[in-house]
Amino acid sequence: MNEPVTDSNSSPATEDSSTTAKSGVDVTSFASRRTLVLRRFLRNKPAVASLVLLAVMFIGCYALPPLLPYSYSDLDFFALQQPPSAEHWFGTNSLGQDLLAQTLRGMQKSMLIGVCVAFISTVIAATVGTIAGYFGGWRDRSLMWIVDLMLVVPAFLLITIVVQRTKGDIIWMIFLLSVFSWMISSRIVRGMTMSLKEREFVVAARYMGVRDSRIIIRHIVPNVASIVIIDTALNVGIAILAETGLSYLGFGVQPPDVSLGTLIASGTPSATTFPWLFLFPAGVLVLIIFCANLVGDGLRDALDPGSRALRRKAR
Amino acid sequence: MTLLQVRDLTVAFPTDTDTVNAVRGMNFDVNPREVVALVGESGAGKSASAMAVVGLLPEYAAVSGSIRLHGDELVGLSDERMSQIRGKVIGTVFQDPMSALTPVYTVGDQIAEAIEIHQRDIGRRAARTRAIELLELVGISQPERRSRSFPHELSGGERQRVVIAIAIANDPDLLICDEPTTALDVTVQAQILEVLKTARDVTNAGVLIITHDLGVVAEFANRALVMYAGRPVEIAPVDELYHDRRMPYTAGLLGSVPRLDARQGARLVPIPGAPPAMAALPPGCPFEPRCPLAIDKCRDAEPALLEIAPGHSAACIRTEQVAGRSAAQIYGVSTEPAAVQQAADEPVVLRVRDLAKTYKLTKGVVFRRQVGEVRAVDGVSFELQEGRTLGIVGESGSGKSTTLHQILELTAPQSGSIEVLGTDVATLTGRTRRELRSELQVVFQDPVASLDPRLPVFDVLAEPLSANGFDKKQIDDRVAELLGTVGLRIQDASRYPAEFSGGQKQRIGIARALALQPRILALDEPVSALDVSIQAGIINLLLDLQQRFELSYLFVSHDLSVVKHLAHRVAVMYKGTIVEQGEGDQVFTNPQHEYTRRLLAAVPQPEVDRR
């Protein structure tokens, strides 16, 4: 049935985008996909704000500590367990350590681990998923066998054991967390690839003589990009949470070094009596994950021209 | 007394930005035993009007006006009250019979359920018996046995018969058919129309049929409402509509239908432009921007329906300019085929011999064993000469698409041989295959599916070029040239496919296929998914392009009329084999095979005195 709603609904979009297209175009060199995606992303204010905030936090946690009067390990015996003040912005803990310096140090570890793990595991997932789905046959069978194998390995146990042996080495943690977190997404990507492979624009590209690798990069990956990007954004959060969880339990980053996990762990017992010990690291954690998700949403909307046209129910 | 009386019906859909007025002031009546057709292109508001009558519009749709059935007001009734009317007083037949039936119940149960819901005291056994009677009535053989089948065990035509059986199960007074034959093959379509006629005679119901197919209207309806931009623009008895249409839009619609009696190469009359956006319509006649007869006065106010003859009215102030003139005269285009002297001994660019493709049927999970095979294509042979068009005609499942894709793969077939431009595809290596690909390109049926929605048009067109080693400058030039060739603006290059109408998308698909300057173009039902007025433009474009670039077309279609316009030679496929092959005029005027004759007889023609 011809749904008149969608038909006539798409027309107004055509109208105003045709005017924007007209005003924005430089006839001699056509606006490429990249500039269009960028333009669409910049139009999404919350996502841009989150991205800026994430960048500020990322740069801040590396650039700020040298400028502070205290390092994360310094003890101020004149300010034990003090609430936030002009001298110690985030307050101090029972040893007199400055919580701002400690939180920044923790952010360094956590954000680095989160971003790296999310990125690496997404790249693995996208590569494995598209190759298995596009080519099928023996590639599909062997790759999915590996996925099944990885899924039955008790990952958390394995990571805790290895991380303990490596004394909380950050590279090992990134490696282990990424190796154990790509399997589910690669299955999703594989399924989407298999249905995309049958679509006419992929068939058309094959008939035009486009190479398989190029079809995967230009047609398959952008079309699974929305799920991959959401996945990356969520993975940042999950990876940070995994790292925090490990450290919270004492398996991750080892003292005297700190991460958000160890900070939250040490702040938890006094969450109600000395709330700043718990609230600042936990708040930062929430903020990072929230921003990562907003950026992911914004990127999806920019990459997928259809996703914003989805009808909202009027009532 | 009138059965259904619709007055000032409006339907509006609020969206994030604007309110879309899908229906803007419909007035019509349906009498008992009368067949009224709502005709128009997609987005004209025909489905919205009909769904408003049955109360099946989404909840957020704002419906106003009056719909009276037997004098009782339907607008504003609760969904509960409407449920008692739907299926009992109003029967509905939808377009896609597969999704209209529940896959997990037998068809007999589904018909019985429809009866039991509205006649509580009938009893299970009586309902079953009645269901079997209904199946017999709609022409399903062995109704007792078939009533225990599941929907997937029936063919498309049989499923639609079951849907009709459900619609008439409670002896309704009004039958609403929403594109009942669109999803079906031609021969099945004719049978379904017969069943609908029987259904009307048995129930004495009035029928409201929604269709975009003017042939179906001519075959089946008594009265037609031509709709445009949410309003009827011409209302007339069907025979008067075809002989003496007064609205330029109707004339254009009729002129753009491909006809079986046309000569090869005959141009059609397309309506320029596209239907208006339904949000924020400018004042004046909504058809004015596309109308060849528009004058300044047309922009002032939207014309009301003016009576021309009893029962015939048109919403146009220039009706006297339309009377007695042909569509080609009104739109100022020539339909004459371009004079081309065809040498009969043009070189053969594509030769297929004894092509066969079989699928193995296997059973068992652990021990796979072959239980038989399906011969999708079975010994097909044909030749395509340079600069000519070979039309492959057949219904769904005839193997025409399989044949086409077998050729496009450019790999050795299971058996038989394919020769493209003198090269046997079995001898190709990876490199020579890629070179040959640039000579053989394809245009797909569905322009929505064949364009990557995430690539702007420039990238879509640049893809085949960059894959074949063009540099940036050459690509820019060629893309601009291609857009001009298919009648799009250069500015369109930075827009996404979703922002174009169906016809424009198909033009992009054709431009992409032309990018590498191929010599053979495979057309896989290139106009089937388009509205008639748009379809006409694409057919004309294909004819022009063939003349300009001396292209050879391999044209696959189920639509005989379209093939008649385009093809020099025609091959009719049935169950995997070519049953008849010959010059287009010969096959159409003097069909030799029984199946070809059946196919030709089943095509509904947009004229009334054929019956």
Put simply, whether A165 touches B (Cβ < 8 Å) is: no
Instruction: Encode A3-38: b = buried (16+ Cβ within 10 Å), e = exposed.
Output: ebbebbbbbbbbeebbeebeeebeeeebbebeebbe
**Per-residue confidence (pLDDT) for residue A17, from 0 to 100:** 35
Mutate which of B463, B481, B504, B528 to disrupt the A interface (most A C-beta within 10 Å)? B463
Distance CA B481, CA B490 (A): 9
Query: Do A8 and B476 count as a contact with CB atoms less than 8 A apart?
Result: no
**Per-residue confidence (pLDDT) for residue A312, from 0 to 100:** 40
Backbone angles phi, psi at B236, to 5 degrees: -160, 155
Nearest Cα neighbor of B568 from B312, B344, B350, B327 is B344
**Per-residue confidence (pLDDT) for residue A19, from 0 to 100:** 32
Q: How confident is the model at residue B464 (pLDDT cuts 50, 70, 90)?
A: confident
Chain A residue with minimal CA distance to B56? A3
Distance CA B560, CA B546 (A): 20
For residue A33, list chain B residues with Cβ-Cβ distance below 8 A. Answer: 454-456, 459
Q: Lowest-confidence range among A26-40, A123-137, B522-536?
A: A26-40
Q: Lowest-confidence range among A54-58, A73-77, A218-222, B256-260?
A: A73-77
DSSP state string for B137-162: HTT-SSHHHHTTS-GGGS-HHHHHHH
For residue B450, list chain A residues with Cβ-Cβ distance below 8 A. Answer: 200-201, 204
- Percent of chain B past pLDDT 90, that is, above it, reads 11
Distance CA B493, CA B480 (A): 8
Asked if the model's pLDDT at residue A63 lies above 60, the reply is yes
For residue B476, list chain A residues with Cβ-Cβ distance below 8 A. Answer: 28-30
Query: Do A209 and B455 count as a contact with CB atoms less than 8 A apart?
Result: no
Q: Lowest-confidence range among A89-98, A115-124, B140-149?
A: A89-98
Asked if the model's pLDDT at residue A190 lies above 90, the reply is yes
Q: How confident is the model at residue B16 (pLDDT cuts 50, 70, 90)?
A: low
Nearest to B494 among A25, A207, A304 (CB): A25
Q: How confident is the model at residue B609 (pLDDT cuts 50, 70, 90)?
A: low
Most confident of the ranges A42-51, B270-279, B335-344: A42-51
Per-residue DSSP letter, B531: -
Q: How far is A6 from chain B (nearest CA, A)?
A: 9
Q: Span B601-607, mean pLDDT?
A: 79
Query: Do A21 and B47 count as a contact with CB atoms less than 8 A apart?
Result: no
Nearest Cα neighbor of B230 from B43, B488, B69 is B43
Chain B residue with minimal CA distance to A218? B455
Chain B residue with minimal CA distance to A220? B452
Query: Do B47 and A3 count as a contact with CB atoms less than 8 A apart?
Result: yes
DSSP state string for A105-155: HHHHHHHHHHHHHHHHHHHHHHHHHHHHHHH-HHHHHHHHHHHHHHHHS-H
**Per-residue confidence (pLDDT) for residue B176, from 0 to 100:** 92
Write the pLDDT tens digit of every residue in B89-107.
999 998 888 888 888 999 9
Write the pLDDT tens digit of every residue in B381-390.
998 888 889 9
Asked if the model's pLDDT at residue B329 lies above 90, the reply is no
**Per-residue confidence (pLDDT) for residue A18, from 0 to 100:** 35
CA B445 to the chain's CA centroid:
11
Query: Hey, CA dihedral for A230, A233, A237, A242, is it positive or negative?
Result: positive
Asked if the model's pLDDT at residue B15 lies above 90, the reply is no
Asked if the model's pLDDT at residue B442 lies above 70, the reply is yes
**Per-residue confidence (pLDDT) for residue B610, from 0 to 100:** 42
Asked if the model's pLDDT at residue A7 lies above 60, the reply is no
Write the pLDDT tens digit of every residue in B340-375.
655 567 788 888 888 888 887 777 666 777 777 778
Q: How far is A49 from chain B (nearest CA, A)?
A: 24
Q: How confident is the model at residue A147 (pLDDT cuts 50, 70, 90)?
A: very high
**Per-residue confidence (pLDDT) for residue A212, from 0 to 100:** 87
Asked if the model's pLDDT at residue A129 lies above 90, the reply is yes
Put simply, whether A19 touches B (Cβ < 8 Å) is: no
Backbone angles phi, psi at A77, to 5 degrees: -75, -10
Nearby residues of A295 by Cβ (< 8 Å), 6 or more positions away: A47, A50, A51, A54, A233
**Per-residue confidence (pLDDT) for residue B121, from 0 to 100:** 86
For residue B178, list chain A residues with Cβ-Cβ distance below 8 A. Answer: 1
Q: Span B544-563, mean pLDDT?
A: 88
**Per-residue confidence (pLDDT) for residue B326, from 0 to 100:** 81
Mean of all residue pLDDT scores within chain A = 77
**Per-residue confidence (pLDDT) for residue A310, from 0 to 100:** 38
Put simply, whether A12 touches B (Cβ < 8 Å) is: yes
**Per-residue confidence (pLDDT) for residue A28, from 0 to 100:** 37
Mean of all residue pLDDT scores within chain B = 85
**Per-residue confidence (pLDDT) for residue A133, from 0 to 100:** 92
Asked if the model's pLDDT at residue A184 lies above 90, the reply is no
**Per-residue confidence (pLDDT) for residue A130, from 0 to 100:** 92
Put simply, whether A66 touches B (Cβ < 8 Å) is: no
Query: Do A27 and B490 count as a contact with CB atoms less than 8 A apart?
Result: yes
The three-point CA angle B484-B449-B483 to 5° equals 5
Residue tagged 């379509």 (tokens): B189
Q: Span B525-532, mean pLDDT?
A: 82
Higher pLDDT, B58 or B161: B161
Q: Span A200-229, mean pLDDT?
A: 84
Q: What is the pTM of this model?
A: 0.75
Asked if the model's pLDDT at residue A9 lies above 60, the reply is no
CA B490 to the chain's CA centroid:
30
- Percent of chain A past pLDDT 90, that is, above it, reads 12
Q: Span B558-574, mean pLDDT?
A: 88
Q: Where are the beta strands (DSSP E) in A24-67?
A: none
For residue B455, list chain A residues with Cβ-Cβ distance below 8 A. Answer: 33, 218-219, 222
- Evaluate whether B533 touches B542 at the Cβ level (below 8 Å): no
Put simply, whether A6 touches B (Cβ < 8 Å) is: no
Mutate which of B495, B501, B504 to disrupt the A interface (most A C-beta within 10 Å)? B495
Distance CA B91, CA B108 (A): 17
**Per-residue confidence (pLDDT) for residue A5, from 0 to 100:** 37
For residue B17, list chain A residues with Cβ-Cβ distance below 8 A. Answer: 12
Asked if the model's pLDDT at residue A12 lies above 50, the reply is no
At B399, the amino acid letter reads G
For residue B458, list chain A residues with Cβ-Cβ distance below 8 A. Answer: 30-32
**Per-residue confidence (pLDDT) for residue A168, from 0 to 100:** 66
Mutate which of A3, A7, A308 to disrupt the B interface (most B C-beta within 10 Å)? A7
At A125, the amino acid letter reads A
Q: How confident is the model at residue A314 (pLDDT cuts 50, 70, 90)?
A: very low
Q: How confident is the model at residue B225 (pLDDT cuts 50, 70, 90)?
A: very high
Higher pLDDT, B403 or B530: B403
Chain B residue with minimal CA distance to A223? B454
Nearest to A17 among B13, B499, B512 (CB): B499
**Per-residue confidence (pLDDT) for residue A260, from 0 to 100:** 83
Query: Do A210 and B17 count as a contact with CB atoms less than 8 A apart?
Result: no
Asked if the model's pLDDT at residue B308 lies above 80, the reply is yes
CA B21 to the chain's CA centroid:
25
Q: Span B197-209, mean pLDDT?
A: 90
Write the pLDDT tens digit of every residue in B146-157.
888 888 888 888
- Exposed, middle or buried: residue B527 (CB in 10 Å: 0-12, 13-18, 19+)? buried
**Per-residue confidence (pLDDT) for residue B376, from 0 to 100:** 82
Nearest to B463 among A32, A208, A306 (CB): A208
